[in-house]
Amino acid sequence: MSTVDSDAGPRRDAAPRNIPTGLDFNLPEALEASRPPEARGLARDQIRLLVGWRNRPELAHTVFHRLPDYLDAGDLLVVNNSATLPAALDAWAPDGTAMELHLSTQLETDLWVVEPRRAPTPTSPASQPFPGASGGMTIRLPGRGRAELLAAYGTPGRLWIAALVVRIPVDEWLAQHGRPIRYRYVPSDWPLDYYQTVFAQERGSAEMPSAARPFSAELVANLVSRGVAIAPVTLHCGVSSPEKHEAPAPERFQVPESTADLVNLTRRRGRKVIAVGTTVVRALETAVDGDGEVRAASGWTDLIITAGRGVRAVDGMITGWHEPAASHLAMLEAVAGSDLLARSYQAALACGYLWHEFGDSHLILP
């Protein structure tokens, strides 16, 4: 397993590594989902779904609520039950300059990994990277709070370790002053409910584990009635605004014993284990032992999955569509293989599938 000691937290010098991928393409702005499907007149489970198989040449174009048609009784979906925090905050630099601060990952009670951002403006309605951060800087926050930047978290200096000083419990403070993180392709704020999945239970993600967003309660009931099992893991997602090829930083995770046992039983019976999202793949693959069995595990994972490393715990996955040169494409290549991945992305671009957390979905099957 690739873990960092759960008591000590992630390494303080942990630096996002550069992960080259073999898939690169141009993403037209028109294919970036700028608002939730509900605002486009669709239910969550009515978004488009592209289905591909590693051992078959064809692709299927369908809608997400038809997912049960592509799974069999005895298959297992593993989902991330992490709930999204309102982790974006108004902030002010020492000279009074308006900023935005994104909380990424809680390290200890009052110690966080954070990302300082430029504040939105009328001509740039979403925050942008803030290049002026430095160690020792104190950023003022709402409710007489502050964040004291202690040290860069990783070599690029985009992320910082910060002491967060607030007067009330953090969850209560965020509920009063925070909002969901969004980026330039989503020009307007949306309520936190739009950034929660039907499986959300454990608060802790800076950003939604969005592969599970299209699931509705009705779809879950339909899957279970057809004999498809569903089991949870927890992985708290950090901010997802890294540069091209920049791998995700260490994240806190937990694989319960019941889920580990169900994964192993499903595989022994020759059924499929389908991970719902890259976060689930990362958690399960961290928990695989030397014999290929998934074990109960918790702590911090710094595992990076590439085609060379491969996957041992999952047979397929449900995922969104990732930006050109995103490090997650290396994980998708490990699950799908380079040929299927290339064909799927070519088809998605040609057929106008939508990208990002409010976009369409992709089912990869063996």
The residue ranges of every structural domain in the chain are 3-84+191-365, 88-177
Q: Which residue has the higher pLDDT, 91 or 23?
A: 91
- 3-84+191-365 shares its CATH topology with 88-177: no
Handedness of CA 324, 326, 330, 332 (dihedral sign): negative
Give me the residue label for tokens 């051992």: 55
Give me the residue label for tokens 């990302």: 115
Strand segments, DSSP code E, in 81-131 are 82-84, 88-92, 98-106, 111-118, 128-129
Q: Tell me how far apart the alpha carbons of residues 132 and 334 are, in angstroms, rounded to a whole number.
A: 37
- pLDDT of 360 above 90: yes
Which pLDDT band, with edges at 50, 70 and 90, does 157 fall under? confident
Closest CA to 250 of 113, 109, 101, 102: 113
Q: Which residue has the higher pLDDT, 248 or 148?
A: 148
pTM, two decimal places? 0.92
- pLDDT of 269 above 90: yes
Q: Are 24 and 327 a contacting pair, CB within 8 Å? A: no
Q: What is the pLDDT, as a whole number, of residue 16?
A: 46
- Could you read off the pLDDT of 111-140 as tens digits, one per residue? 999 999 998 887 777 778 888 899 999 999
Give me the residue label for tokens 């294919």: 31
Which pLDDT band, with edges at 50, 70 and 90, does 155 fall under? low
Helices (H), the chain: 170-177, 217-225, 257-268, 278-286, 328-336, 338-350
Right CATH for 3-84+191-365 from 1.10.565.10, 3.10.129.10, 3.40.1780.10, 3.30.70.1250: 3.40.1780.10
- pLDDT of 243 above 80: no
Right CATH for 88-177 from 2.40.10, 2.60.40, 3.10.20, 1.10.10: 2.40.10
Q: Tell me how far apart the alpha carbons of residues 324 and 349 are, in angstroms, rounded to a whole number.
A: 12
- pLDDT of 14 above 90: no
Q: What is the pLDDT, as a whole number, of residue 245?
A: 60
- Could you read off the pLDDT of 194-232 as tens digits, one per residue? 999 999 999 999 999 999 999 999 999 999 999 999 999
